[in-house]
A and B are shown apart, each in its own frame.
Chain A
Amino acid sequence: MMNLMEMISVLLAVVFFTSIALIYNRSAWNQRERLYDANSFVQATLLAHTVLDEVDAKLFSAQIKFVNIKNQYNTTRSMNLTHVGETYNLTITAVDADSTGVPLAVPDPDNIFTKVTVRVSASAGLKHTVSMSRLYTKTHLNT
């Protein structure tokens, strides 16, 4: 029969080894999550680029005018990527900005810069929201 000291020693050993097991398990899990996150990060940047390229393409072809960027690109999109097997959520914002991309505190009717920002999040994989911005300039081609 075990005495009290032996029982306590056994309990301590169990706690000790369980802690080590959990730490190892967590480390392995963290590494796998980072791999998943890295892959999702690349996909998220591509989605953000796609939206920003779409704005460029529509401005180039006069499908939208510069003044309409804010109307059409203050929105959200849910992108279900069949090939990748994930759904990404995009929050798109368009604001008047100065030439360095800083949003204007006071609206300026003669402003010629609009900053579009795309924030991409995912229900799984992506640990942090990916955010990308592009500054669009008013020209005689897009007015």
Chain B
Amino acid sequence: MSTLIDVLGAMVIGSMLMLMMITFQYQLRDTADAAIYMTGMVEEMQKASSKLNSIIALAGVGYTPTTTVAIADTNRLKFYTKWDYQNDRISSNPHTLEIKLATTATSLGRSLMITQDGVLLNDLGYLLWVDGLRFIYYTKTNTLTTAPAQVRSAELWLTFRHNAPKAGQKPLRTRLQQRCYFMNSYLQGA
């Protein structure tokens, strides 16, 4: 009888330990999957932030600082410039550039729409997984403003979202906060 109890006890403990090991294996696999997904996402975050910074730096080429920004809303920024982003060169024609988030979401998040004269820029299709975008504007003296004529830098609040590796899990989300200076305006004395 005692031998039977010993064997049964050993089986129960053994099963629990096996279960524990299997659970750990699954947890480790989930974390590894998340790591793989996140690696791509971090790369996207770097691309998006550097691209946005370089775009905003060239705002107002050929314009005075007070006439550079056309619209300074919390969800979109529109400015004038004589830099042709589509062909990556200075232009004699005036252009308007607008940065905003698409209204519809896809499985890859919401597209960050960067349009020149109302047409999407060709080479910016790789800014994926952006889920939230907010602009906060500052004057030359670093105070908050909403007046387009006074805007000299913009703080961007970016939220990125990526579907979770396993269906049914919460999506992976990361956030970035960056300040972009209207360098061309500063070059003209701000």
Interface set of A (CB-CB < 8 Å, partner B): 17, 20-21, 24-25, 27-28, 31-32, 34-35, 38-39, 41-43, 45-46, 49-50, 53-54, 56-58, 60-63, 81-85
Contact = CB atoms under 8 A, between A and B. Distances in A.
B28 A46 contact: no
B179 A38 contact: no
A21 B20 contact: yes
B31 A43 contact: no
Interface stretch (B35-43, B79-87, B92-100, B105-113): B35-43
A139 B25 CA distance: 61
B186 A50 contact: no
Contacts of A39: 38, 42, 45, 174
B181 A54 contact: yes
Question: What are the 3 A-B residue pairs with the smallest beta carbon separation, nearest first?
Answer: A61-B190, A24-B24, A83-B157
Contacts of B20: 17, 21
Contacts of A82: 177
25 contacts: A21-B20, A24-B28, A27-B28, A28-B24, A28-B28, A31-B35, A32-B34, A34-B35, A35-B34, A38-B39, A39-B38, A39-B45, A42-B42, A46-B176, A53-B179, A54-B179, A54-B181, A57-B183, A58-B186, A61-B140, A61-B187, A63-B140, A83-B176, A84-B176, A85-B175
B186 A42 contact: no
Nearest to A42: B45
A25 B25 CA distance: 10
Contact of A83 (B153, B177, B186): B177
Nearest to B187: A60
Given A27-B28, A63-B140, A43 B176 contact: yes
Nearest to A56: B183
B178 interface: yes
A83 to B, nearest CB: 4
